[in-house]
Amino acid sequence: MSPSSPFSRSSDKPLRPNIAPSTDQVEIPISPEVLIPRLGDYLIEKKLLSPEDLQRALDYQKANAIAGNPRLLGQILVELKLIDRSTLDQVITKQIVQLHNALQETNALLEQRVQERTRALERRLVQIRTAAEVTRLATRASSLSELLTTTVNRIVEQFGYYYAAIYLVGPQQKYAVLREATGEAGKELKERGYRLAIGSRSIIGWVTANNKARLVTDTREDDLYLQDELLPQTRSEICLPLAIKDEVVGALDVQSTSPQAFDEEDIVILQTLADQIASAIHHIRLLESAQINLQEIHLLYEASHVISRANTIEEIIENAASVFDRTDFLAATLVTEGERLRLRSLHDPASPENPISEEDQYLPYPLTDFQSALQGKSYLLITEFSQTTLPAALVHIPRQWGAEEVVYFPLWRQGKLEALFILGSADKGGFSDTLIQPYLSLTDLSTVALEKVDAIRGTQEQVSNLAVLNRISQAIATETELSHLYPVVHQQIKRVVGDVTFYIALYDARTGLIRIPYLYEDGEVSQVESLPVGEGLTSIVIREKKPLRIVEDTERKARELGAKQLGEKAAKSWLGVPLMVSGEVLGILNIQDPEQENAFSIEDERLLSTLAAQVAVSIRNAQLLSQARQQAERQRRLYDATEKVRAALDINSILETTSRELSQTLGAKRVVIELHPPDIAPSSHATPSEDTP
């Protein structure tokens, strides 16, 4: 909904990442219990081990660790004969199977979410197409009846709502009269001549009196809702005014059988439809009254028809300007370029030469002067230049023309001035309301067309983003190697934001270290060794656990956040989002543009955040799977070694086999086995050498 129509609800070059270098490298060995947490508790729960035996094993394990001989709990349990190897292997296997099942469930959930978003987007596309169809019809309808009938029918058929109706304000401005509605209920109400007084205690009466939309999320709880026996299934309702500026010409009423059926995007599309209908009603009435020059009507209609089908901002402005360029008045079209207005075209019916030289192509006034003076206005008429208190920017062109009066028609887009159309007259009193109205209607129609283009672009961007998410979901669903996952994610992001700096940082909460296994900059992929969490932007994202987007004056804003800049220069645009699973930060995804400000939009942030959620799950799954594989392989090797030792027939064979198998299994360079006579105990434990693991 545009900012001017209040809405009422019922029930009143690339840089290294900003992380500090580290001088210490900490290696944390991977324990089997990372894969199988609380192994002892699980064995007790399954009644495979008693609490006393578990405590005995844990004490024994602790004693071995203190003696410099760390042992796995599973090994201790087998060695103490508290559990046999076969049972232990079965427990570990069962845990691995459970992990595998959890991975499959996660992938299935991701696929379901993508499908749900696809269905929602398809519905939104249908609504956009319907809005565009009504927009086209609004410029081509041969009669008001045709326009209204087609509009309400399309809303119900394509949007899936229960009922739609259009009321028009009567000549005396006292009643809103039902002119068109859907279904048998609508037919009967029209035959009754159904109407509601403006300002009456009803939703239609309230909307037409206040020129505001009203949303009823649940009809059972709204005191203005009027229950109608012909529409017994209505549970939610939205009514939007049909208005031209401050003049309400009617209302669009839509009802649904579901409570809370209208979300924000539905409301925006319906408001756009309401604006189109109001504009079309106004145009049709203008044509019927025949109060303006037929040539101007032809130009207006022709341009409106083309504008309604335009797919770009440039097309809209070009076709609107063509009408101003063919009038009997002095006319100019200015377009926004950066922070200035550029003179696009000039028209003087009395002279083949432009009254302003090419040197004055750019107006010597900042854009803010025009925006502040025209803000909130659909047009501005100046009849006395000598007495106006408006900025000099608004009298620059007409004074050069020698015009006595001038009318400005601003074309707004998302609250900013996109273009400015100017009409000038050499005579006093040259502009009446009747003459101004068609140009104002053209500007209003152009504004609606801009909104349509933006809506279509937004939808196309959503479709593109959803396609990216879908491709990534499919690509990473079966990818279990992190080294393969990172390039897949990078290539998909590259499709959306272009060839910018990109990295994935992983965070280890136990060590407080950040590692960057994948960094793309200057066309090359590299890695960054582990660094401690510090005062860079990456560290801020990890600590705050929320996205951070800086796209203007990044150096200053980074300092304000307390971040220290570690690169040669700050990136012009910086966007990082956390990789999180169950509230735990695994790292961040980051993109940077070293040259361009405002390179990343809020939509990019949303896409990256959605993507990060999927990537985080995939990273966690890959990490767990890798740990599972390592643990399974380690257990297999230890089991094989044990079997070989058991098969040895004498003490030398036992020692040789044990030494060889431990060396191979543990990757040790040297294995020392000390034997003591039974009656001589070792005075102390041997200290492992540097080569001893």
Domain that holds residue 558: 479-622
Distance separating alpha carbons of residues 524 and 349, to the nearest angstrom? 60
586 assigned to some structural domain: yes
Provide the 3-class DSSP secondary structure of residue 650: coil
Q: Is the pLDDT of residue 195 over 70?
A: yes
379 assigned to some structural domain: yes
59 assigned to some structural domain: no
Domain match, 428 and 512 both: no
Domain match, 195 and 281 both: yes
| CATH code of the domain in which 240 resides | 3.30.450.40
Domain match, 542 and 442 both: no
The number of domains in the chain is: 3
**Contact between 214 and 238 (Cβ < 8 Å):** yes
**Contact between 551 and 594 (Cβ < 8 Å):** no
Q: Which two tokens stand for residue 447?
A: 């504004």
**Which of 114-128, 151-165, 259-273, 626-640 is predicted least confidently?**
114-128
Q: What is the mean pLDDT of residues 435-458?
A: 80
Whether this model's pTM surpasses 0.85: no
Tens of pLDDT, residue by residue over 324-361, are 877 778 888 888 887 778 888 888 776 655 555 555 57
Q: Is the pLDDT of residue 382 over 70?
A: yes
Most confident of 327-341, 638-652, 664-678: 327-341
Burial label for 99, CB within 10 Å (0-12, 13-18, 19+), is: middle
**Contact between 439 and 333 (Cβ < 8 Å):** no
561 assigned to some structural domain: yes
Burial label for 274, CB within 10 Å (0-12, 13-18, 19+), is: buried
Domain match, 488 and 606 both: yes
Which of these, 572, 615, 562, lies nearest to 592 by C-alpha position? 572
Domain match, 254 and 376 both: no
Q: What is the mean pLDDT of residues 603-628?
A: 80
Domain match, 267 and 329 both: no
Domain match, 421 and 509 both: no
280 assigned to some structural domain: yes
Q: Which of 587, 622, 657 is the last residue of a domain?
A: 622
194 assigned to some structural domain: yes
Q: Which of 233, 268, 286 is the last residue of a domain?
A: 286
- HEC string of 292-329 equals CCHHHHHHHHHHHHHHHHCCCHHHHHHHHHHHHCCCCC
Q: What is the mean pLDDT of residues 127-148?
A: 66
Tens of pLDDT, residue by residue over 460-492, are 666 666 666 666 666 666 656 777 888 888 887
55 assigned to some structural domain: no
Domain match, 567 and 509 both: yes
At 683, the pLDDT band (50, 70, 90 cuts) reads very low
Domain match, 184 and 269 both: yes
Q: Which of 560, 595, 622 is the last residue of a domain?
A: 622
CA trace torsion 456, 458, 460, 462 (10° rounding): -150
Domain match, 179 and 250 both: yes
118 assigned to some structural domain: no
Domain match, 400 and 502 both: no
Domain match, 436 and 512 both: no
**Contact between 607 and 465 (Cβ < 8 Å):** yes
Identify the residue with better confidence: 662 or 419: 419
